[in-house]
Chains A and B, each alone.
Chain A
Amino acid sequence: MLKIEKFDVSPRLRLTCARTDKFKTGCLSVNLITELTRENAAKNALLPRVLRRGTAVHPDMESLAVITDELYGARIEPTVRKKGELQCVGFFADFIDDDYLPNGESILERVTALVGEMLLTPKTHGGQLTSEYVDSERRNLIDEIRAGINEKRSYALDALLRNMCSEEAFGVNKLGGEREAKAITAHALTVHYKKLLDTARVEVFYCGNAEPGRVKSAVADALAGLPRTAAPETAGTQILLAPPAPETRKFTEKLDVTQGKLAIGLRLGKTMLAPNYAALAVFNAAFGGSVTSKLFLNVREKLSLCYYASSMIEKHKGVLIVSSGVEFANFDRAYNEILAQLDAIKSGDVSDWEFLSAKRAVMTERLAALDRPGGLEEACFDQMIAGITYTPEEFASLAEAVTREEIIAVANSAVLDSAYFMEGKTNEE
């Protein structure tokens, strides 16, 4: 079945191999782990996109496409992830498992080498990253940052966090800010690229059926050119146990929309001193993370107040967020009702049915996620960030062992911080 092994390929390069024969493809991600800062976020987000445009050997998208098509449509995508106050950038590749290739070829080594080539030997001009690629990808990045507003649901969450965490790194978007993005030149990005390669921790994940020793040597070969660094950068996430302002902060924005959006942010408080991730997950499933949750059954189903009302936890930062789509006229009722449902859990109003359903939901969701290559990779990645290692079976038994008192304690530890309202424009505006 699933077997996870870790290798320190070098002092700063670690490989996690999750071996399983159940998929028809394998996936490999290479990630530079660095701190999330307003100053560097856009540069970090831009970097893998520029590197993906061309290498010294394959100088443009067309020559790269010829290779990836020949590798049976292997995908190599630039990635940027935000985990707490860490920004993780690099590449995610997936490709047919060698066992399923019609002609007995093997492509794992070739894909891994190509990812290494993109990371370490980009196309350059006069010692700098090609300005044509930097300019073009910078424009794309700026467009993408601006396009955040097109998806109102995710935009509302971004707007909440931007305001609520305006004094914290967590308030920075994973793509960075438009102003910082605009200022990036080929020279500045090249300097940043070299520094990042010199200092960042490199975490590589492989999920698939190849023998781990083979993956290890493919990764070691592909990344042999990574500069040797004695001690990679150590970065972490600052967790605020209480909101920075004494009063609940409310933010309102007017946009031309027909449906309002309401997002509420809470700090998980002292529960984050020694986080019990299984209890956090079960609490979230009971509050608003599942279809048996209080938010779903009461705010949506019983009161028909919202089309959706759900909660999520960013466990690395210790933030609880509620997201909902509401008629403008129902803002106050929805806001009060959402908080009333949290109060209900605080006071111990959690039925056996709700409690057990929440546990089942957590266990099913966690195990089912491991049945997708991307889900398996993400699970390994999250554990790396949180510094924990549980087998799927261990996590399931931890969720099973969560007590009602533990989820009531999570609710009682949560402190309301901010709320964001997306209102419509009237005709005159």
Chain B
Amino acid sequence: MKSKSYELIREQVYSDRLDNGMPVYVVKKSGFYKTYAFFATDYGGADRRFKLGGEWIDTPEGVAHFLEHKMFDTEDGNALAELSANGAQPNAFTSSDITAYFFESTEKFEENLKILLSFVSVPYFTKESVEKEQGIIGQEIRMTEDEPDYAAYYGLMKLLFRHNPVRDSVAGTVESIAEITDETLYNCHRIFYNPSNMALVVAGDVDPDRIFELARKILPSTRVSPPERDYGGAEERAPVSQRAERAMEVSKPIYMIGGSAECPERGAERLRLDTIGSLATELIAGKSSPLYFRLYAEGVVKSDFQAAFESTAGVAYSVFGGNGAAPDRVFEEIKAEIARVCDGGGDRALFERIKKANFGRYMRALNSFESICYNYAGGYFRGYDAYTASDVLLSVTFDEVVDFIRENMKPENLAISVVTPKAGETE
């Protein structure tokens, strides 16, 4: 067992590595009613093409998410119900690069942890249960298809990326999930749900040794090499086109503006890139930027306006999103602000303030067990220690961020995706 303390944020993490290669982290927290367990695999909606026995296999869109739904089925019934009946609040999610199963409970934690580790590692699917799930997920897909934010987001992804699977919905389409069979699910489970490809993080007032022991007892000990996957190679930096539009039942246009950036796959550089990228978008149009204040005062942007940076599945991108009557004006203003900052117009004092505010936000996120566990597991999969994020933040310089903007946010490489109201609905 290893123990690591982080002075700046006053956290203590105990860790151990099982024979199968899987790390188990225990983030010790006291004074809380709940204990939280997060069991994740380095497998998400974008992992559609991978090597199996020397051959490349293509799977339909939506398998990782489908698998997430079906994993709760056990030979004896349903783990979701079993955990809930035991006082746990279980749930799961699938993103482009991670699938995670988690619960929080205020009693019987070890019993619940056993259930979690078992149902995620032992698959049980039947032809009938797969068919039935196609109905439920089909409804979920239809529901998200009515969500304008979702439409604006995937609209942007399709502009920024030519072949990377992040351009397709994590849940797939009603058509693509119809191709999924119990065999597809068993295969993907075997490849991606081996503990060698997974991580367990527990947060709460628990005895770390008990957790390590439990994980050792329940999970298989064989180690396999991590699956090789293909996201379709490097993407061009220029977007497919600079603009896409779609009409939906909305009150005002909803838009997302963004550009892709070079993405190191793993390691401390990845965390540094995420930190720099996020400071860069804030410097351009964050909630403390002169551009945001000016556009807000004019009524062009509203308080829901967001400036962010993401990296996942081999790609990285900046994104500015909001709603309002003049999306193209926002697009032009962002491009102009980028040009101004690259031209020496960036404000160093503002940059220092943004860093300070981000430090506070980072501390705030450490209240949340969900965010602690997600970040810790995500950091492991991406090859960095997530708890060093505040140290990285404090070390980033103004010049580094401006260089990043110059390199990765060239106005000609940005694109805008807009969801517009259907005709006749605006005033």
Quick one: which of B94-131 are within 8 Å of A by CB?
104-107
- Restricting to B127-147, which residues have a CB under 8 Å from any CB of A? 132, 135-136, 139-140, 142-143, 145-147
Q: Complex: how many Å from CA A1 to CA B32?
A: 9
Cβ of A258 under 8 Å from chain B:
yes
Chain B contacts for A1, CB-based, 8 A? 31
Report Cα–Cα, A291/B249, bound state, in Å.
31
**Would you give the 0/1 interface string for A149-173, flagging 1 where the beta carbon is closer than 8 Å to chain B?**
1111100000000000000000000
Interface size on A, residues (CB 8 A): 69
Check if A61 sits within 8 Å of B139, measured CB to CB.
no
A143 within 8 A of partner (CB): yes
Q: Does B210 contact A (CB under 8 A)?
A: no
The answer to whether A373 touches B288, judged by C-beta atoms less than 8 angstroms apart, is no
Interface residue ranges of B337-396 to A (CB < 8 Å)? 353-354, 356-361, 363-364, 366-369
Give the residue of A140, A290, A367 whose beta carbon is less than 8 angstroms from that of B34. A367
Inter-chain CA distance A350–B90, complex, in Å, is 22
Q: Does A139 contact B (CB under 8 A)?
A: yes
The smallest beta-carbon distance between A361 and chain B, in angstroms, is 6
Interface residues of B in 310-349 (CB under 8 A from A): 323-324
**Are B288 and A327 in contact (CB-based, < 8 A)?**
no
Q: Mark B283-313, 1 if CB is under 8 A from A, else 0.
A: 0000110100100110100110000000000
Asked, given contacts A136-B299, A149-B250, whether A96 binds B360 with beta carbons under 8 Å apart, the answer is yes
Q: Mark A313-330, 1 if CB is under 8 A from B, else 0.
A: 000000000000111000
Interface residues in A257-277 (C-beta closer than 8 Å to B): 257-259
Note all chain A residues with C-beta closer than 8 A to B357: 68-69, 72-73
Contact A150–B251 (Cβ < 8 Å) = yes
B250 with A364: CB separation less than 8 A? no
The answer, among B81, B87, B142, B288, for a CB contact under 8 Å with A291, is B81
The 0/1 profile, CB within 8 Å of B marked 1, for residues 110-122 of chain A is 0000000000000
Please state if A297 and B81 are interface contacts (CB–CB under 8 Å): yes
Residue contact A257 to B249, C-beta cutoff 8 Å: yes
- Interface-side segment among A17-25, A187-195, A218-226, A241-249: A17-25
Q: How far is the CA of A196 from the CA of B37 in the complex (A)?
A: 46
A291–B84 contact, CB under 8 A?
A: yes
Interface size class of B (residues with CB under 8 A): 35 or more
**Most central of B147, B252, B288 by chain A CB within 10 Å:** B288
Task: Verify A22–B89 contact, CB threshold 8 A.
Answer: no
**Which residues between 410 and 427 of chain B lie within 8 Å of chain A, taking CB atoms?**
422
Does B221 sit at the interface, judged by CB under 8 A?
A: no
Distance to closest chain A CB from B338 (angstroms) = 20
Cβ 8 A contact of A96, one of B297, B302, B363? B363
* Residue A213 at the chain B interface, CB threshold 8 Å: no
Q: Which of A23, A60, A68, A325 contacts B293 (CB 8 A)?
A: A60
Residues of A within 8 A of B105 (CB): 364
Nearest chain A residue, comparing its CB with the CB of B250: A150
A95-109: CB near B (< 8 Å → 1, else 0) gives 110001010000000
Given contacts A301-B136, A304-B132, 13 further A-B contacts (CB under 8 A): A22-B29, A24-B9, A69-B356, A70-B356, A136-B299, A143-B323, A149-B249, A150-B251, A291-B80, A304-B136, A361-B84, A371-B32, A373-B367
Interchain residue pairs with CB less than 8 A apart (16): A21-B31, A22-B29, A25-B363, A73-B357, A96-B360, A143-B252, A150-B251, A258-B145, A297-B81, A301-B78, A360-B86, A361-B89, A364-B87, A371-B369, A372-B368, A373-B367
Question: Which residues of B does A touch, CB under 8 Å?
Answer: 8-10, 29-34, 78, 80-81, 84-90, 104-107, 132, 135-136, 139-140, 142-143, 145-148, 248-252, 254, 287-288, 290, 293, 296-297, 299, 302-303, 323-324, 353-354, 356-361, 363-364, 366-369, 422
